[in-house]
Amino acid sequence: MSAGALRVLIPSEQIQQRVRALGEQIDADYPEGPVYMISILKGSFIFLADLARVLKRHSVRIEFMGISSYGQEKTSSGQVKVTRDLDTNIEGHDVLIVEDIIDSGFTLNYLTRLLAQRKPKSLEIVTLLDKPERRVQPVHVKYTGFQIPDEFVVGYGLDYAEDYRNLKDICVLSE
C-alpha cells in the first residue's frame, strides 16, 4: 500500500482510443520494412504492449532498453545512464523509441544522441505523455499521445517509487 491521493486525469477508454489513432498514424508512416520499437523500461511497458497490438503490420520488432535518471525522486537528477542496453544492432533500420512521458527532456535528449551514433535508417519518438512546460533540454517528438499540465502522474505503466504502475487510468498523485 502507498500513501497519496489519486485523481483520474485520463481514463482508460480515452487512452485506448488515442493509442489506436497513434497506431494508425504509425502504420501509415512506415509502409514497408520492420519497425524496431524500443521500449524504455520500465514506464513504457504497458503503452508498448497496447501500441504494438493495434498495429496492422506484422513486421514489428520489440526491443527493450533501460535508462535511469530519477532514482526514487519525483524530479530528474539530470544524470542519465543506460542500465540495460539493446542486444540488437539497429544500423540501417527504422527505429521508434517508445516512451511513457517526457518531462525535463534529459532522458530522450541523451538517448536520441546515443542511438543516432548507431546509424539507424530513421529514428523517431512516440511518447504517451508530454509535459512541455517542464522541458529543460530540447527533444524532437514525432508522435505524442497527450500533452498534460505540470503535475506528477502515475498509472498505465508510470510509477511513483515503483508503485501504481498497474492502474488502468492515468492519475494525478498528490500528497
Residues that bind ligand IMP (CB under 6 A): 43, 69-70, 76, 99-107, 152-154, 158
Q: How far is the CB of 61 from ligand IMP (least distance, A)?
A: 21
The catalytic residue among 94, 103, 130, 159 is 103
* Contact between 48 and 65 (Cβ < 8 Å): no
102 binds, among ligand IMP, Mg ion, none (CB under 5 to 8 A by kind): ligand IMP
69 binds, among ligand IMP, Mg ion, none (CB under 5 to 8 A by kind): ligand IMP
Q: Is 120 in the site for Mg ion (CB under 5 A)?
A: no
Give whichever of 94 and 100 is closer to Mg ion, judged by the CB atom: 100
What is the distance of C-alpha 74 from the center of its chain?
A: 17
The angle, 0 to 180 degrees and rounded to 10, between the axes of the packed helices 45-54 and 12-29 is: 60
104 binds, among Mg ion, ligand IMP, none (CB under 5 to 8 A by kind): ligand IMP
* Residue of 21, 161, 32, 40 whose CA lies nearest to 94: 32
Strands 153-154 and 170-174: antiparallel
* Residue of 26, 24, 2 whose CA lies nearest to 171: 2
Is 50 a residue of the active site? no
CA angle 88, 23, 144 (to 5 degrees): 90
Q: How far is the CB of 106 from Mg ion (least distance, A)?
A: 11
* Contact between 127 and 100 (Cβ < 8 Å): yes
**Choice from 23, 43, 145, 157 touching Mg ion (CB under 5 A):** 43
Q: How far is the CB of 40 from Mg ion (least distance, A)?
A: 5
- Catalytically annotated residues: 103
Residues in touch with Mg ion (CB under 5 A): 43, 100
